[in-house]
Amino acid sequence: MAGRGHKDIFARDIEWTRAGDGVRYAGFPLDPDDAGAGPLMVLAQFAPGEVVDPHTHDCNYIEYITQGSQMVGKIDFAAGDVRWASAGTGYGPIKVGPEGCTVLIVFQNGAKSPPMMLGKAKQTAKLVRSGEMR
């Protein structure tokens, strides 16, 4: 039931965004009228074997693994596990397990949620943006 101040979003209606070949995500701001300032919930799905380069976020976040598994650095996480990180905490790489992985992430501030690459990944991202590397 949807009414004023209420919205139902069914799995079949989720609007996914692709982030490379093996990652898709959908964002759900807590306050759609002020999406940038408030918390943002992100549902992300990773293909089996996907590797996400080391990165950080400019805000606190909490992640719940709903399906599959991933290794973050040298630590294995599986469905039901929770990860929490404060703003600026670097981590990775993330290596997705053979069954893929689905996570639910809540960022404290939606505007500060985009990943910021670290180390060699940061240098590569700069080269790609500049057109020096494809």
pLDDT tens readout for residues 6-37: 889 999 999 999 988 899 999 999 887 777 77
Cα–Cα distance between 120 and 126 in angstroms, integer? 10
Superfamily in which the 13-130 domain is placed by CATH:
Jelly Rolls (2.60.120.10)
Query: Can you give the residue ranges of every domain in the chain?
Result: 13-130
83-109 confidence digits (pLDDT tens): 999 998 889 899 999 999 999 999 988
**pTM of the predicted model, to two decimals?**
0.81
